[in-house]
């Protein structure tokens, strides 16, 4: 296909750049590091790269833009989505925002290595912002170079799409492009920087506005710009609320709190740990944003964090995520006080978050067991006991739930009452334990006492299943709809990165295909659902990650 036709295909993208059209811009056109006042963004062009190469793309994201990426040549796609070629209608800019980092106010932050190309208006009337991550320095880059390396870009690209197919609210990823340039990074912050391949990810979202976007203007007492941003956000990102009247503002904040709660419930459901829940990394849309040092729980540990920067305090550990989300919402509420007539509306949102999270989380926990929401005191104890059981032998959470779904627990086998007598398991109990053993990283830790605890819980669970009169097949179907077989395990992402560094991108594409169907059994792909191998237990990139990109 000729380049002319290719260009015409991409040129069909319709840009309707509401953010830069409606909100105040930085009047300084030069691209140098500085404090930007009374502006929501600075216009800036992406840095030109030497040899862009398309590595992978997500067809489903292209469909959101009415774009068929199978049509243009890979060279043209690489040129456009590396930032080397701007299409008609693009209006590239970096956003200005602040935020709390690890609980401390950091002042101005902004898009230090992300450049928004513009908002695409598709045939369904939806607006989608295109953003290049790793496209060069901006006024907000501080001492950094604004670039990204291949390893972090692979992780961002794969995880964005994996989360979407898991049903977790998230920003998306359209393309992954190698730049052909080397980027200097000190991966371990130990004074030994190395050159690594550079890359750019094109991220896609309805909006990249963050909690910190509002916080910065409030902290600066720039209430005029804060007011404009709130009005724009309600009109453009929450159009169903109508004009930004006081009532619409109240409903807006309630919705932000509700969707944030639902997002975190989904994180907990699939065992995802964000790793860096700073307020500048919280989307106003309740979508997962900024995939830095994230990770998935493998052996169940509520205190685990994937972020080496957080290793001592573990502020952003798995079990702490709901509390941090609420704390972040409280910081947003404080920032919004100057543009709300009453703090009562803001307090209602915070209260709603706690109520909605608790109820939705309880329902999710029951759904993971294949059970319907019930007002049963016994359910509370059943759910409360499970996290402790999952730590008995370093049990893999993802595998545990899938194996639990396979257990024969039909009502015909459920007449026996739970037994606290202890003792060695009988033959039936031994079968149940053996069926779960695939999930144990440390089976030798399952002594008689721990086996008795697990068996007692399984008997209570079987009795609860009998009360609901669930057949084995019905329960399995329910459980497998919410408990994935495949997640982006930390070591799998690292293996894909290792091969990509050697110019072998096959595993990235294979993982993409597997992760498009995370709840399905996929014959021949069992290796992607297996326990983490021992060699990956403490290897860099497979356990904890730094904020280095």
CA-CA distance, 200 to 131, in Å (whole number)?
A: 10
Q: How many helices and strands (H and E) does the chain possess?
A: 17, 11
Token pair of 300 as six digits: 């169940």
- Say whether 185 sits in a helix, a strand or coil: strand
Contact 545, 513 (CB under 8 A): no
Catalytic residue among 26, 111, 280, 290: 280
To the query of whether residue 472 is one of the catalytic residues in this protein, the response is no
Q: Where are the alpha helices (DSSP H) in 238-373?
A: 246-270, 321-336, 343-368
CA-CA distance, 109 to 95, in Å (whole number)?
A: 9
| Helices 343-368 and 377-389: angle between axes, nearest 10 degrees | 80
Dihedral of CA atoms 448, 454, 457, 458 in degrees, nearest 10, equals -110
Q: Which residues pair with 203 in a beta bridge?
A: 131, 173
Contact 54, 74 (CB under 8 A): yes
List of residues 6+ apart from 255 with CB closer than 8 A:
238, 241
Please list, residue by residue across 195-205, b when 16 or more beta carbons sit within 10 angstroms of its beta carbon and e when fewer do: ebbbbbbbbbb
CA-CA distance, 358 to 265, in Å (whole number)?
A: 9
List of residues 6+ apart from 219 with CB closer than 8 A:
98, 105, 107, 335
CA-CA distance, 52 to 197, in Å (whole number)?
A: 11
Active site residues: 280
């Amino acid at each position: 296909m000729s380049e002319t036709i290719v260009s015409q295909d991409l040129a069909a993208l319709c840009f309707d750049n509401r953010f830069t059209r409606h909100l105040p811009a930085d009047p300084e056109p030069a691209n140098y590091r500085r404090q930007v006042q009374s502006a929501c963004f600075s216009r800036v062009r992406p840095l030109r790269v030497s040899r862009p190469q398309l590595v992978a793309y997500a067809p489903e994201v292209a469909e959101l833009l009415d774009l068929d990426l199978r049509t243009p040549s890979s060279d043209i796609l690489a040129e456009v989505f590396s930032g080397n070629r701007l299409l008609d209608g693009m209006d590239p800019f970096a956003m200005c925002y602040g935020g709390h980092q690890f609980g401390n106010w950091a002042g101005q932050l902004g898009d230090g290595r992300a450049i928004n190309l513009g908002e695409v208006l598709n045939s369904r009337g939806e607006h989608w912002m295109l953003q290049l991550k790793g496209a060069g320095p901006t006024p907000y880059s501080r001492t950094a170079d604004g670039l990204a390396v291949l390893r972090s870009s692979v992780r961002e690209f794969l995880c964005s799409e994996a989360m979407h197919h898991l049903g977790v609210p998230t920003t998306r990823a359209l393309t992954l492009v190698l730049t052909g340039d080397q980027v200097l990074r000190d991966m371990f912050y130990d004074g030994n920087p190395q050159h690594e391949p550079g890359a750019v990810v094109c991220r896609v979202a309805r909006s990249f506005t963050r909690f910190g976007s509002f916080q910065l203007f409030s902290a600066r007492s720039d209430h005029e710009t804060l007011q404009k941003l709130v009005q724009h956000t309600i009109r453009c990102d929450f159009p169903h609320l109508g004009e930004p009247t006081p009532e619409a503002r109240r409903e807006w904040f309630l919705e932000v709190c509700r969707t944030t709660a639902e997002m975190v419930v989904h994180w907990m459901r699939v065992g995802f740990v964000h790793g860096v829940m700073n307020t500048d990394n919280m989307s106003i849309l309740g979508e997962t944003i900024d995939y830095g040092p994230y990770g998935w729980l493998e052996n169940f540990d509520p205190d685990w964090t994937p972020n080496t920067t957080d290793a001592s305090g573990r502020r952003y550990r798995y079990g702490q995520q709901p509390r941090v989300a609420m704390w972040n919402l409280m910081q947003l509420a404080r920032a919004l006080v100057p543009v709300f007539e009453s703090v009562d509306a803001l307090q209602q949102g915070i209260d709603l978050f706690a109520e909605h999270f608790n109820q939705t989380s309880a329902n999710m926990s029951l759904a993971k067991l294949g059970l319907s929401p019930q007002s049963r005191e016994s359910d509370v104890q059943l759910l409360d006991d499970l996290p402790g059981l999952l730590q008995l032998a370093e049990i893999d959470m993802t595998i545990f739930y899938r194996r639990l779904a396979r257990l024969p627990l039909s009502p015909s086998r459920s007449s026996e009452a739970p037994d606290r007598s202890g003792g060695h398991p009988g033959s039936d109990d031994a079968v149940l334990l053996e069926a779960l053993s695939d999930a144990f990283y440390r089976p030798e830790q399952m002594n008689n006492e721990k086996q008795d605890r697990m068996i007692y819980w399984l008997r209570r669970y079987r009795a609860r299943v009998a009360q609901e009169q669930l057949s084995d097949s019905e329960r399995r179907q329910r459980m497998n709809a919410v408990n994935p077989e495949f997640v982006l395990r930390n070591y799998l992402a690292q293996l894909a990165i290792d091969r990509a560094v050697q110019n072998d991108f096959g595993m990235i594409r294979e993982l993409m295909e597997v992760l498009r169907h995370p709840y399905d059994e996929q014959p021949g792909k069992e290796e992607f659902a297996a326990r983490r191998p021992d060699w990956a237990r403490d290897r860099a990139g497979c356990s904890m990650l730094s904020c280095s990109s």
